[in-house]
């Protein structure tokens, strides 16, 4: 087994939520009469902690308005998050990796409360032995999430792979000395992901499953 620890990002990697997140950011801006970021700009910040994401998506946002922006974002996102679904093939992929003996974890820009809701709603909670969230660690691409997971599992960086759909995931992996694997069906486009030299760019969950079966 080359990668005993496999760490997944959540939004845009396991859950088909990138579009909903971008729309919630845009709706929050409209509520507060702020410049509305393009779809590309809104998708680019997916994976970051909420404050970092809002700072980048809405550069004119002043610190005193962060709480209002985050409240409106959560209002719009949470009003529809129960309708979001896992990408086709994700439950079978995660179950297979778990059965094969891999240790599975999550490193996400979601809050702890948000991830707990998502784990319960998705039915994937039994498969993940640990997780780290943006409100308890430095936001991606800081390596803290991965460093803490490596320490928790007592696994070396060389035996770990980080799977994500954004450059933030790949940069975090690089900063932690961990291999990065990209999926192109989430938030960031293929060309942007390729710039960060992942092990591979996989275009579907089926391709990801096949790559892991052969290489992990």
Same domain, 73 and 102: no
pLDDT in tens, 6-53: 999 999 999 999 999 999 999 999 999 999 999 999 999 998 888 899
DSSP letter at 38 equals P
d(CA 98, CA 202): 20
In the predicted model, is pLDDT for residue 71 greater than 90? yes
Per-residue pLDDT band for 81 (boundaries 50, 70, 90) equals confident
Question: How many separate domains does the chain show?
Answer: 2
**What CATH number is associated with residue 105?**
3.40.50.1000
Same domain, 30 and 97: no
Same domain, 142 and 39: no
State mean pLDDT over 132-140.
Answer: 95
- Separation of first and last alpha carbons in the chain: 6
In the predicted model, is pLDDT for residue 80 greater than 90? no
In the predicted model, is pLDDT for residue 177 greater than 90? yes
> Is residue 140 a contact partner of residue 171, using CB atoms and an 8 Å limit?
yes
State mean pLDDT over 131-152.
Answer: 97
State mean pLDDT over 145-163.
Answer: 98
Query: How much of the chain exceeds pLDDT 90, in percent?
Result: 90
Same domain, 56 and 103: no
Same domain, 113 and 124: yes
In the predicted model, is pLDDT for residue 83 greater than 90? no
Q: What is the pLDDT of residue 180?
A: 98
State mean pLDDT over 53-74.
Answer: 93
**What CATH number is associated with residue 42?**
1.10.150
Range with lowest mean pLDDT among 41-45, 123-127, 172-176? 41-45
d(CA 5, CA 118): 21
The residue range of the domain holding 142 is: 5-16+84-215
> Is residue 18 a contact partner of residue 71, using CB atoms and an 8 Å limit?
no
Same domain, 134 and 42: no
Same domain, 77 and 101: no
Q: What is the pLDDT of residue 164?
A: 97
Using the 3D structure, point to which of 82, 98, 129 is the last residue of a domain: 82
Strand pairing partners for 130? 105
* Catalytic option among 11, 52, 81, 209: 11
11 catalytic residue (yes or no): yes
**How confident is the prediction for the chain on average, in pLDDT?**
95
d(CA 209, CA 183): 11
In the predicted model, is pLDDT for residue 69 greater than 90? yes
Same domain, 47 and 90: no
Q: What is the pLDDT of residue 200?
A: 97
DSSP letter at 99 equals H
Map residue 212 onto helix, strand or coil.
Answer: helix
In the predicted model, is pLDDT for residue 1 greater than 90? no
> pTM for the full model?
0.92
């Amino acid at each position: 087994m080359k990668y005993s620890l496999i760490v997944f990002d959540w939004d845009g990697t396991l859950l088909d939520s990138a579009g909903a997140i971008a729309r919630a950011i845009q709706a929050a801006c409209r509520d507060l009469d702020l410049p509305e970021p393009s779809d590309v700009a809104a998708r680019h910040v997916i994976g970051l902690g909420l404050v970092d994401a809002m700072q980048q998506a809405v550069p004119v946002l002043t610190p005193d308005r962060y709480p209002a922006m985050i409240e409106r974002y959560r209002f719009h996102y949470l009003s529809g998050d129960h309708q979001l679904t896992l990408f086709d093939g994700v439950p079978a992929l995660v179950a297979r990796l778990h059965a094969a003996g891999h240790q599975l974890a999550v490193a996400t820009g979601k809050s702890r409360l948000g991830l707990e809701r998502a784990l319960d709603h998705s039915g994937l909670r039994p498969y993940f032995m640990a997780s780290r969230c943006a409100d308890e660690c430095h936001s991606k691409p800081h390596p803290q999430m991965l460093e803490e997971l490596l320490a928790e599992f007592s696994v070396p960086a060389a035996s770990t792979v980080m799977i994500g759909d954004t450059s933030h995931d790949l940069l975090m992996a690089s900063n932690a000395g961990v291999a990065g694997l990209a999926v192109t069906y989430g938030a960031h486009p293929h060309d942007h992901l390729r710039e960060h030299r992942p092990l591979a760019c996989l275009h579907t969950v089926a391709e990801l499953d096949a790559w892991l079966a052969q290489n992990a």
